[in-house]
Amino acid sequence: MSDLGATPRTVAFDVEGMTCVACARRVEKALAKVEGVRDAKVDLVRERVAIDLDATREIGAELEGAAERAGYRLVRRSDGLRPAKRAGRASRAAVALVLTVLAMVAAALSLPWIEVALAAAAVLGAGSEIFAKAWADVRGRALGMDVLVALGAGAALVSSVLSLLSRGTHAAHPMAHSDASMAALIVAVALLGKTLERAARAKAADAIESIVRAMPDTARVVRHGVEGELAVGEVREGDEVHVAPFARVPVDGVLSDDDAERSLDESVVTGESRPVTRRTGDRLLGGSVNLGRALVLRASVGGEGSELAKVIAAVTRASSERSPTVRVTDRVVSIFVPAVLAAATLTLVGWLATGATLDLAVRTAISVLVVACPCALGLATPVAVTVAIGHLASRGVLVRDAAVLETLPRVKTLVLDKTGTLTVGAPRVIASVRAADATDSDDVLLALAASVESESHHPLARAIFEEAMRRRLAVPRASALEEIAGRGVRGRVNDREIAVVRPEPSNDGRFALPEGITSVASVVEVLIDGGAVARVFLEDALRDEAREVIDTLRARGVLPVIRSGDAPSAVAHVARALGIEDARGGLRPEDKLADLRGLRRPILMVGDGINDAPALAKADVGVSLGARTETALRAAGIALPRADLRLVTFTHELATRLARVVRENLALAFAYNALAIPFAALGAFDRIGGPAAAAIAMAGSSLLVVLNALRLRARSGVMSRA
């Protein structure tokens, strides 16, 4: 692996050699000790590590060396070594199984030394990785599964050799196989279990990996009149990029073909399953698939700044973050192996104290060692979380960290913004009325209002500006534009201060409702030099899915409320239409923030992120509707790709399923160990196959929790695409 050179802030690697939670912790600790590393977070399920750096010097070799000293290897994805690595692990398991069968045949033919030689080849040859990891565990003082397997298999092999040397034959065993064959079988089963478990973990991470694979490695770029193939990271803003039919768009850009219309599949980026049509001048998203003829785009950002790159970064970060449940489980796992070692020692001493033979006491202690499974505990939550995050990402939903998903099923109150959240966010001007003493015409006042709203992204501001454009009004340029917190905006036009704000109730008597307009319309007030001169009335339709979503969440025990900055009358009308009893309008952002304190927690808040950022950040779970920027994720925790409230219920349902699967996994893991260890200590395994049967049970327990997490993926996969 080459040095990283002038390192970026974050680098990511595959990690070879990890088998359990203890491995992940040891990799993190080893890398964190390298000067210039701020943090290292391992994603055990995907066998990756994300390293945050503050160094400017070359530290690639130091990172590699630190990992190797801990017993692992860092691998760049571009090295293409992952398939070979998996094949190598599978081949080790196959070799161990073949040697085990041959050892058993030698035992049946009464060839004890040949049996021991074949068993030793299986244990110390094919199983050398287990012993190497066990030794690394001991040196790193982070004991994991490999220590238990190595001690069990090693003790069985040594016991067999000592028996041959002292008695010239193996000790008798009720299952008619010797300790040597048993040692080989323990290793073979452990390797096979790891192979199956890794394959299942890879399946769990498939949704995330499919997003990562959607980022093309190269792009066809025309620069200075010369066409060539560049790495995506080398594409610069303004480059002309050519995309072949049915190829992925490598970077974000603007369709620049003259008079072109193209069909694209953006599902990997936005979660929208239906193809979309883009025309000349429209934005194209990197990672989308060109479904028609070749196209040309003008890159709007470099490869590292594309929407897909941001999605990948967010998903990778979320899958590496440890939730509160994972942190608690990790602490349990850290003391689990020492506790098992103590239990095995007590078992050995206890059986000897009862007068049992040394062979029986050793076999029983070995069964205790190999039946215990900290991996089942360590994988119970991370695998399920990875499945959930990947499945959400496949729908375009980004989650900041796993803690958000843990909180979501417990929410008691749903706080909803109105404009752009419950409504479609595309209001239109339906009327305006001037004050009696206003000297300017309706068109002039609308143009002045549009001038200060021209740079705002609020739906009401856009509606006013678009109405001015529809009327073909000359909109003057405003200066000194600033936001009036929670009320609106203001600026200066030709030495006059123009403001567009939420109306003051004290002015109600100056403005009569225009004919045909009810009190349910949204209203803004136009001020000139501090005096109210006009009111503009706007109308915004409810989202089609709003009632269904609110009823669904209410049925799940979540109380919906509305908190909006819009006119109280308009808010009350929407609340009545949706059957919501608790609704308040006319709130500033600080009012919304203060209001959260009186609501029942945990609180789920859904908003468009424009005026709701403080409240979204303060809520236990914030959902930013239709915005997936880094700012939205920091404030809200969950960012939706489009303004579709059904994604809120989908995310809530999946988080609820996740909580149930995590509880099941933890219960399975704890119950297995609570039953299996005493079962082994009492000698019960000696009657059904000895330590070899215990090894099979151990491997099965890890595989069981992973398969249970995959059941979450299968069940949620049948849900219709929101």
Decide if 482 contacts 490 (C-beta within 8 A).
yes
Task: Tell me the C-alpha distance between 287 and 308, whole Å.
Answer: 6
Task: Tell me the C-alpha distance between 49 and 18, whole Å.
Answer: 11
Task: Tell me the C-alpha distance between 157 and 457, whole Å.
Answer: 72
**Domain 398-422+542-640 superfamily per CATH:** HAD superfamily/HAD-like (3.40.50.1000)
The DSSP call for residue 234 is G
**Amino acid residing at 690:** G
pLDDT value of residue 469: 93
Task: Tell me the C-alpha distance between 131 and 128, whole Å.
Answer: 5
Helix (H) or strand (E) segment spanning residue 42: strand 37-43
Buried/exposed code over 581-601 (b: 16+ C-beta within 10 A; e: otherwise): eebbbbbebeebbeebeebee
Task: Tell me the C-alpha distance between 589 and 273, whole Å.
Answer: 35
Task: Tell me the C-alpha distance between 391 and 336, whole Å.
Answer: 32
Sequence-distant (6+) residues with CB within 8 A of 385 are: 319, 323, 326, 402, 405, 658, 662
Q: How big is the chain, counted in residues? A: 722
CA 160 vs. chain centroid, Å, equals: 48
The DSSP call for residue 175 is T
Per DSSP, the three-state class of 529 is coil
Architecture of domain 217-305: Distorted Sandwich (2.70)
Per DSSP, the three-state class of 697 is helix
Helix (H) or strand (E) segment spanning residue 38: strand 37-43
Closest alpha carbon to 27 in 76, 63, 56: 63
Residue ranges per structural domain of the chain: 10-80, 85-206+317-385+659-717, 217-305, 398-422+542-640, 428-539
Decide if 695 contacts 186 (C-beta within 8 A).
yes
Whose structure tokens read 């008691």?
Answer: 412
Q: Please give the structure tokens belonging to residue 702.
A: 């890890």
Decide: residue 282, CB within 10 A, 0-12 exposed, 13-18 middle, 19+ buried: middle
Q: Please give the structure tokens belonging to residue 634.
A: 């920091």
Decide: residue 261, CB within 10 A, 0-12 exposed, 13-18 middle, 19+ buried: middle
Q: What is the pTM of this model?
A: 0.75
CA 106 vs. chain centroid, Å, equals: 51
**Amino acid residing at 611:** N
DSSP assignment of 407-456 equals HGGG--EEEE-STTTTB-S--EEEEEEE-TT--S-HHHHHHHHHHHHTT-
The domain 428-539 having CATH identifier 3.40.1110.10: the answer here is: yes
Residue 430 phi, psi (nearest 5)? -110, -20
CA 486 vs. chain centroid, Å, equals: 33
Please list the active-site residues.
Answer: 417
Q: Is the peptide bond before 560 cis (omega within 30 degrees of 0)?
A: no
Q: Directed axis angle between helix 691-717 and helix 179-204, to 10°?
A: 10
Task: Tell me the C-alpha distance between 253 and 577, whole Å.
Answer: 41
Closest alpha carbon to 229 in 217, 237, 220: 220
pLDDT value of residue 1: 36
CA 148 vs. chain centroid, Å, equals: 32
Task: Tell me the C-alpha distance between 387 and 45, whole Å.
Answer: 10
Q: Please give the structure tokens belonging to residue 223.
A: 């620069």
**Amino acid residing at 185:** L
**Amino acid residing at 253:** G
Decide if 284 contacts 252 (C-beta within 8 A).
yes
Whose structure tokens read 């059941």?
Answer: 711
Task: Tell me the C-alpha distance between 388 and 665, whole Å.
Answer: 14
Decide if 550 contacts 585 (C-beta within 8 A).
no
DSSP assignment of 343-379 equals HHHHHHHHHHHTT--HHHHHHHHHHHHHH--HHHHHH
Decide if 270 contacts 252 (C-beta within 8 A).
no
Residue 347 phi, psi (nearest 5)? -65, -45
Closest alpha carbon to 665 in 204, 296, 218, 269: 204
Closest alpha carbon to 23 in 268, 436, 339, 374: 374
10-residue mean pLDDT series, the chain (722 residues)? 46 79 81 85 81 70 83 66 48 87 85 88 88 79 78 84 72 58 84 77 69 77 84 83 89 83 81 80 86 87 68 72 77 83 92 88 87 80 84 83 89 90 86 87 92 86 91 91 82 92 81 71 88 89 90 94 85 90 86 87 83 81 75 74 88 92 90 91 82 82 84 55 44
Q: Directed axis angle between helix 82-108 and helix 179-204, to 10°?
A: 160
Task: Tell me the C-alpha distance between 265 and 633, whole Å.
Answer: 25
Q: 10-80 in CATH: which number?
A: 3.30.70.100
Handedness of CA 700, 705, 708, 709 (dihedral sign): negative
- The CA angle 172-175-178, to the nearest 5 degrees, is 50
With helix as H, strand as E and coil as C, how does 100-127 read? HHHHHHHHHCCCHHHHHHHHHHHHHHHC
The end-to-end CA distance of the chain, in Å, is: 43
Task: Tell me the C-alpha distance between 570 and 503, whole Å.
Answer: 13
